[in-house]
Amino acid sequence: MNYVALSAWPSGTQASDASGKRDGRKPFHRSMELTGRARAVYPAGVTRVSVGAVETGGENGPYSVYADLGEGAVVQDVDGNRYVDFHGNFSTLVHGHRHPGIAGAIHRQLERGTCFGNPTETDLDLAETIRDRIPAIERLRFLNSGTEAVMFAIKAARAATSRRKIAKLEGAFHGTYDWAEVSVRSTPANWGEDRPRSNPPYLGTPPSVCDDTIVLPFNDTERARKILQENGPDIACVLIDMLPCAAGMIPIEAGYLAMLQETAHKHGIVLISDEVVCFRLGYRGASATMGFDPDLVTLGKVVGGGLPIGVVGGRADLMNVFAPQDAAPVPQGGTFSANPLTMVAGRTALEALGEDEIRRIGELGDRLRLASEEIARRMGVPLSVQGAGSLFRFHAKANRPATFRETFADADHAAFLRSLHAAMLLRGIYVAAPFWGSVSTAMNEDHIDHFLATLRECLAELPAPGKS
């Protein structure tokens, strides 16, 4: 495989060979050094839980791979090793690294100022772009992360309904607001039998958080309907992700969505579509693509053009809980909300993410998922791939899981995915652990070919897990 022939390799660097060795250089020495420094200043040696250490069989144990630069579809680490970047900072970089239009917009804004205690025309430009693009959004507010967007969407729903409780799908991750985190860490040991338990997300979680969070079985229409009907008058909102990554990146079934819509309307429950990750599934967002009509929508990641952002938007009457300015039922602010650097980057990113590009990277994603499964099937390896559009998630299962509980990986299967992640990394493919990622507009068929060839090499060397 001639890695250098791939488009978007940074010039003047060397690639890994097929064995993972670096030509004439000692691999990962600088990353190992920085990992040692990090252990002296960060708990567990990392500054966010989602970016952990990788075990590649080296003599110095697990280490974090430190990035140095990115260009197009490629990221380079501090040791000079290069990777085709299917990670994209957890799917944020839909246009890859250093997109010229986004970089130019940021540079021009830097010359005008980085932040102000005033509104700027840049935030109106992005707000109008989002409002005109997403049918469910009539009014919106800018924030700094997907977590904040979900938090304020829940607050808005509570204020509008005068109810405390929320409902969410079992296993789905919606950021780190206490109620939104419930059940994310559920396992067979605690997830309950007849109906999902509301399990605390962290040690010391106040009991009231779990008491006020109702967990719905994923893609089980009738059981979820029964739970919602029993609790309907007490529920402020239902939090929904059309493609929940932490729950396996399993697409929500159309009948399940229709039930949620019908039952929520019947009981006056606010429907929140969390599209922080899945917005990229369609030009007008995931809910519009799925024919779903939410009351509120939360956004992040791709709509910030690679800079921090959160958005909560929806029906004008619901969004009015953030008004009037000095006596709003839900006060909302943030020193860096609507930061002009993010505003110009986000507008440029959305303008470059047209329908043709969404369709193209979706087709690349389709090919990656289907061909990966076919390779595994031919090699007798129990491996399936869930996802949609330009998003994918691997499971150490012979058949695609259809519910959150079916995604659970025992110790053997979890170890296999970790080993596959490390093996792909050593061969120049970077995905998010345990094994998920996305296709960016900086990619083409060559990048998918490279991914598939590398996957075939890795599966030929790794011992297969027990079939499931």
Helix (H) or strand (E) holding 311: strand 310-314
In the chain, pLDDT over 70 holds for what percent of residues?
93
Give me the pLDDT at residue 11, please: 35
Angle value at C-alpha 293, between 288 and 297, nearest 5 degrees: 80
Give me the pLDDT at residue 49, please: 80
Give me the pLDDT at residue 302, please: 97
Give me the pLDDT at residue 36, please: 93
In the chain, pLDDT over 90 holds for what percent of residues?
88
Q: What value does the mean pLDDT take over residues 3-25?
A: 37
Q: Which two tokens stand for residue 112?
A: 């005008």
Give me the long-range contacts of 285-292 (CB less than 8 A, separation at least 24).
Answer: 285/133, 285/134, 285/136, 286/242, 286/243, 287/136, 287/242, 288/134, 288/135, 288/136, 289/242, 290/242, 290/252, 290/254, 290/257, 291/254, 291/257, 292/240, 292/242, 292/257, 292/261
Output the average pLDDT for the chain.
92
* Helix (H), strand (E), coil (C) string for 168-227: EECCCCCCCCHHHHCCCCCCCCCCCCCCCCCCCCCCCCCHHHHHCEEEECCCCHHHHHHH
| The model's pTM | 0.93
pLDDT for residue 59 is more than 70: no
Which of 3.40.640.10, 3.40.50.300, 3.20.20.60, 3.30.1280.10 is the CATH number of 119-352?
A: 3.40.640.10
pLDDT for residue 145 is more than 80: yes
Q: For the segment 69-128, what is each residue's pLDDT rounded down to a tens digit?
A: 999 999 999 999 999 999 999 999 999 999 999 999 999 999 999 999 999 999 999 999
Domains of the chain, by residue range, sit at 119-352
Give me the pLDDT at residue 3, please: 26
pLDDT band for position 26 (cuts 50, 70, 90) = low
Residue with tokens 């559920």: 186
CA-to-CA distance for 346 and 329, rounded, in angstroms?
29
CA-to-CA distance for 344 and 358, rounded, in angstroms?
21
User: Which among 218, 255, 253 has a CA at the least distance from the CA of 238?
Assistant: 218
Give me the pLDDT at residue 51, please: 80
pLDDT for residue 287 is more than 60: yes
Q: For the segment 319-344, what is each residue's pLDDT rounded down to a tens digit?
A: 999 999 899 999 999 999 999 999 99
CA-to-CA distance for 58 and 60, rounded, in angstroms?
6
Q: What value does the mean pLDDT take over residues 248-260?
A: 97
